[in-house]
A = this chain, B = another copy of it.
Amino acid sequence: MTEFRSVAAATGEPFGEPFQVDGPAEVAAACAAAEAAFDVYRATSREDRARFLERIAAEILALGDSLVEAAVAESGLPRGRIENERGRTIGQLQMFADVVRKGLWQQLRIDPALPERQPLPRPDLRLRMIPLGPVAVFGASNFPLAFSTAGGDTASALAAGCPVVVKGHPAHPQTGALVAGAIARAVEASGLPAGVFGHVAGPSNELGAALVQDPRITAVGFTGSRGGGLALVKLAQAREVPIPVYAEMSSINPVLLLPEALKARGEALGKAFVGSLTMGAGQFCTNPGLVIAIAGEGLDAFVAAASGAVAEAAPQTMLTTGIRAAFGSGTGALAGHAAVETLAQGDAGNTTCGGAVLFQTTGAQFLADKALQHEVFGASSIVVRCQDEAELAAVVAGLEGQLTATLQMDGADEPLAGRLLPLLERKAGRILANGWPTGVEVCHAMVHGGPFPATSDARTTSVGSLAIDRFLRPVSYQNLAQAILPAELRDDAKTDGAPRLIDGALTLG
C-alpha cells in the first residue's frame, strides 16, 4: 500500500484525496532533519520561541473553515465541539508562548563560589534545564486538533525547545495534513530550520514503532489505548538508549456520590451524569465510566434518573468503525457478565453510531473481578452499589490509577470526603468536587495524568503548563568562564522576568 484515504466517520466510507503512506525512509528523514535542527532551535531566545508558537496558532486559525470541515468529517464529532477544540488548540499554544516568555521552566539556579569555605572551597555552580532533543508525538483519535498534530504534546515539546516529529493518527489524515502545513508555514515564517517540525502518516503500527526506535528520538508523547501505550513503552525501553514515554492510556474516572449529596439531589445528579457520560459519544479520556455510592433511596433516585436519560439518549457517530466495534464488544461483555446488571441501554445505533449503556454491580462483585475496571471507550458506565462506607472505601482502594476522581458532595459530606481524600490522591491526578470529569481546563494548576495505568508516568501531566517539564533535563555548569556560560546564567544575564534560585533563595527576575 502506498496511499491511504480519509474515512468519513458518519458513513465508514472513504472520501477525499489520497495521502502518501510513509515508511522507514520518511521516518529516518524526519528524524535526521529534527536532529539537525535541534541546536539551532534550542538556541532561540524565549521571545523568538514564544512568537513561533503564536505564529503556529495564527496559521491554524488562518486555515479557516476547511480545517473544521475536515475534522468534523473525519472524526464525526459535532461542529461546535470541533470549533471549541480549535479554540483550545490555539489557546494552549498561546499559553505555552506565555510560559516560554516567563521562563520559570528554565529553573535557573546559581550557587556562587565560596573560595574561603572550610574544609574545602565551594566552586561556582550554575544550573539550567535544557531540552531533551527531538520528540515523537502520536496523534490521538479522540482529539483531532487539541491532542494531535499541533496538540498539547507538540506545543509543550516545542515550548521546551525540542523539535517534534508527529505520527499523524490514521483516522484523520486530512486534518493532520492541514495542521502540519500550518506548522511548516510558521517554521518558515519564523526563519527556523525545516526540521523543527516533521510529520509522517500512514495506517500501520510499524510506522510508529520505527519512529520510537529511531536513535535520534529522545522522548515520546502519546494519548491512546492501554495496549498502544504499553507497546510504545516496551519499544522505548528495549532501545540501546532507553527513552521516556509519556503515554496517557486508560482511565475509568470514578465518580463518588456521597450520601448527603445523593439524599439532596440524587435525581438531578443522575441527569447531569448522563450529560457528561454521553458528551462526544463518551469518547473522552476523562469519561465517567464508574459511579460509586452507598445503596439507599438517594442512589435509587440517581439510578432511576440516569437510566431514564440513558434510555432516551440518541446514538452518536463514533470516531471510527473500529472504535464503534470495540465499544460493542466491551459493552457486550459487560452485559453478559454474571455479576453485572444492565440498567439501561439507549438506541444501540449501527456500525458507525454508538448508544449509551448503563450497568450496575455491587461493591463485593466489583472487588472480586478486576475485569470490571477495564476501560470501555465510549458512553458506558457502571454503578457500583456499596453496603456502607467501609465497602465504598475498599472499592476505591481497589481501583487502578486514574486520571480523575470526582466527589459529588454537600457540606455535610465533608468529613467523609476528608477521610477519602488521602486515598483519592494516591489513585488520581485530579480530584474534583461537584462537577464532572469531562472538560479539562488548560491552565497552570491542571494535572491530566495519574498513576499507572492512567499514564505510564505519574510524575507529569499532558495538559497544562507543567507539561513542558516532560521534555527538559538539568545541566550543571561548574566554574565556567562567563564568556562560554549560557547567556541566561551569566552574571550580567537579562533574566527578563525569569526567576532564579540564588544560593537557595528564590528571586524574581
* A residues apposed to B, CB below 8 Å: 39, 43, 84, 87, 98-99, 102, 104, 107, 109-111, 119-120, 122-123, 125-127, 130, 132-133, 233, 237, 241-242, 244, 401, 409, 411, 414, 417-418, 421-422, 425-426, 428-435, 439, 441, 443-447, 449, 451-453, 456-461, 464-466, 472-481, 483-484, 499, 501, 503-504, 506, 508
- Residue in chain B with minimal CB distance to A83: B119
Contact call A433/B475, Cβ cutoff below 8 A:
no
Q: Chain B: which residue is nearest A470 at the CB level?
A: B459
Report yes or no: B127 in contact with A476, Cβ–Cβ below 8 A: no
Q: Is the CB of B501 within 8 A of A474?
A: no
Identity of the chain B residue whose Cβ is nearest the Cβ of A461 in the assembled complex:
B474
Cβ-defined partner of A237 (8 Å) among B237, B429, B441, B504 = B237
* Cβ contact within 8 Å between A444 and B508: no
Give 8 pairs: A residue, B residue, CB < 8 Å, sorted on A: A109-B466, A125-B446, A409-B481, A430-B477, A431-B475, A432-B477, A432-B480, A458-B473
Contacts of A459 in B (CB 8 A): 132, 244, 472-474
- Do A481 and B445 touch (CB < 8 A)? no
CA distance A120 to B476 in the complex (A): 43
Task: Add 13 more A-B contacts to A102-B506, A122-B443, A233-B237 (CB < 8 A).
Answer: A102-B504, A111-B445, A120-B439, A127-B446, A242-B452, A414-B483, A425-B475, A429-B476, A447-B475, A447-B476, A459-B474, A460-B473, A460-B474
Instruction: State the number of copies, please.
Output: 2
How far apart are A435's CB and chain B's nearest CB, in angstroms?
6
The chain B residue with its CB closest to the CB of A437 is B478
A478 near B425: Cβ-Cβ < 8 Å:
no
- Bound CA–CA A59/B483 (angstroms): 45
List residues of chain B with CB within 8 A of the CB of A457: 244
Task: Decide if A432 touches B466 in the complex (CB within 8 Å).
Answer: no
Q: How distant is A411 from chain B, measured CB to nearest CB, in Å?
A: 7
CA distance A102 to B464 in the complex (A): 25
How far apart sit A104 and B502, CA to CA, in the bound complex (Å)? Answer: 13
